[in-house]
Structure 1
Amino acid sequence: MTTNVEQILTEIREANLSYLMLAQNLIRSDREQALFRLGVSEDTADLLSVLTPAQMMKIASGNTLLCRFRFDDELVWGLLTNHGKSAAANDATSRLHAAIVLAGRHQEAA
């Protein structure tokens, strides 16, 4: 493997471990918020909340990224990036609108 590929795989493993640790912390501290923010099911939250550090290390060591983007449409990306708008004036409103759209999708999935 080239150094670049090895670096990318190392970064994926680090991101996986960070994501698992964050997810577990969120679930343990505020389960309802965690379900919304992580976009995971009750069953997945149950599983994540009881993982041991050794299990998290083992899961994180794969070469597949565990987290993914929860939205894939131009509306949400446009709202989050303020594409085509003056950033200062509409930033808070656009982010609020994006949060509302995502919250609606979370309710639909539940």
Structure 2
Amino acid sequence: MQTTGLQEEIRDLNLAYLMLAQQMLREDREAAMFRLGIGADVAELVLGLSPAQLVKTSNSQMMLCRFRFDDSTLFGLLSGNGRQAATAGVHAAIIAASKPVAVLA
């Protein structure tokens, strides 16, 4: 994939992610904060973005979303490795809940 194409894909992903995050936060702030792995300060910033700011922010050359976890155990649970699907989701949610949320520095 060419660099330009990759940058466009990142921009599209960023915009979709920000729009989804805003929608989730508007519908159920606490659940969204948990699912997105963000703190209250980041949630307020995302909620406060205007449509123009969403587009401008999405044009960043770095991905705004990231994996919430950095260990293979949680990723394995989410992908269904090693456990029944019903218990893997619960176990993954428990592990994810113990992870720190993103905060502003």
1:90-101 mapped onto 2 (5 Å cutoff): 90-101=84-95
Moved over 4 A (4+): none
Structure 1 residues 17-50: Cα deviation after superposition (integer angstroms, max 9, x where no partner): 0011011111111110111011111111111111
After TM superposition, the score normalised by the length of structure 1 is 0.84
Where does structure 1 lack aligned partners over 5 or more consecutive residues?
Answer: none
Quick one: higher RCO (CA 8 Å, sep 6+), 1 or 2?
A: 2
Percent sequence identity over matched residues? Answer: 45
- Over the aligned positions, Cα root-mean-square deviation in angstroms equals 1.9
How many residues matched? 102
Could you tell me which runs of 5 or more consecutive residues in structure 2 were left unpaired when the two chains were aligned.
none
TM-score w.r.t. the length of structure 2 is: 0.87
Match status 1:7 vs 2:5: yes
Q: Contact between 1:17 and 1:57, CA under 8 Å: does it hold in 2? A: yes
The structure that is helix-richer by fraction is 1
Cα deviations across residues 41-64 of structure 1 (Å, max 9, x unaligned)? Answer: 111111111110000100001111
Alignment partner of 1:20 is 2:18: yes
CA distance in 1, matches of 2:29, 2:64: 20
Q: Is the 8 A contact 1:36 1:106 kept in 2?
A: no
